[in-house]
Structure 1
Amino acid sequence: MDALIPRPAREIAPGAWHVPDWLTPAQRRALVTACRAWATGPVPIRHTRLPRGGVMSVRTVCVGWHWQPYRYTRTADDVNGLRVAEFPDWMVRLGRRAVLAAYGDEARAQEYTPDTALINFYDGQARMGMHQDKDERSPAPVVSLSIGDTCVFRVGNTETRTRPYTDVELCSGDLFVLGGPSRFAYHGVPKVREGTGDPDTGLASGRLNITMRVTGLDRTGK
């Protein structure tokens, strides 16, 4: 059998970096275990209901801050009123290593202090429409980690949901960072390739996407 050809890191758009196979197998398994625990509460994983009545096809659980369209709160008033799990220090360290891997800038990496993560689970039918991550009050990068099934990740521009955009395949273990001029680029997931994940991660099916962010809010939510 031919050896797998390494996939090189590449800049998809200015400040938008794809780093394939960044997570080790052990890290993937540990993240699946952590996310499975968060999914049970204190605020459980759920399909988010949008203000106009629509329901997102992905299921989401939050850590650090609770996201509800389109703001962050300390308590999940749209679910059960409880406060979400604390954002762990080890995730801050993981986020800093991710920023260093993307940009190669030690000072920029050490300044990065994420305080929330949105964890989305995609089954084979789930999709994510083109959107901007703009509910944060900080321009710090968004760090995205993928585990499980491969997806098509669409990276667009900062002005419109339509073309021009670039489609990238994100596989289990891949890192994607949106920062710099692409921090507020529209992006989405039009397709999940069912059955492409590695069950050794502990995820039998589907795609787990962990996105770390800096809210820019103080501890009181201001």
Structure 2
Amino acid sequence: MDQAITMNKTSFGTATTGKLGMWLFIVMDGLTFGAILIGGLGLRIGAESWPAAGSVLNVPLTAFNTFLLICSSFTMVMALNSIVRGDQKGLVKYLILTIAGGVLFLCVQVWEYSHFIIGSEHLESILKGAGFTGSQFLPTTGIYGSTFYATTMFHGLHVLSGVIYLSIILSMAFKEKFGPDNYDRVEIAGLFWHFIDLVWILVFTVIYLI
């Protein structure tokens, strides 16, 4: 144990190849998200009309979904802290909670999509008030619909990828592949998950609140 602690202290301030690779991916992917969000804002500025915040989208529901994702980021931190202390059960427990948070987030998002795609008279009245026709809110519902679906679905694919990624880490945790001197893969997975959470806060702000 003393040797493991010494190794971790020695490596403080340095990064493994895997961690550097993840940081590079995060920077590149962050630029992609930035381009999508800025492009959406540009389209909004150039549009003749744009629905007011909360007039079409369900802000309270998505705020709850945002809270779920933030909580999952916290449990990811706890998962890493657990394995740093050599707590295998804690690692498994918090990874499961993190994955559950991601799955619940996706379920809420799918429910929101289904509500928009199936449509209803109530939704039709909401869309009419926002300047749209029809009883469905689809990617073809003007620039607003295209921007909403393109941005949220792109992020949703990242959440799905993160859930799969963490599930692989969880399967390794069940086999006790990690320890106080071997948790780099858990930390790298955590970087990706925190990135997804941070990006969603920006997406939620730009798409739902502004």
- Larger relative contact order (C-alpha < 8 A, sep ≥ 6)? 2
| TM-score, normalised relative to structure 2 | 0.25
TM-score, length of structure 1 as denominator length: 0.24
Structure having the higher helix fraction is 2
Rg larger in 1 or in 2?
2
**Structure (1/2) with the larger strand percentage:** 1
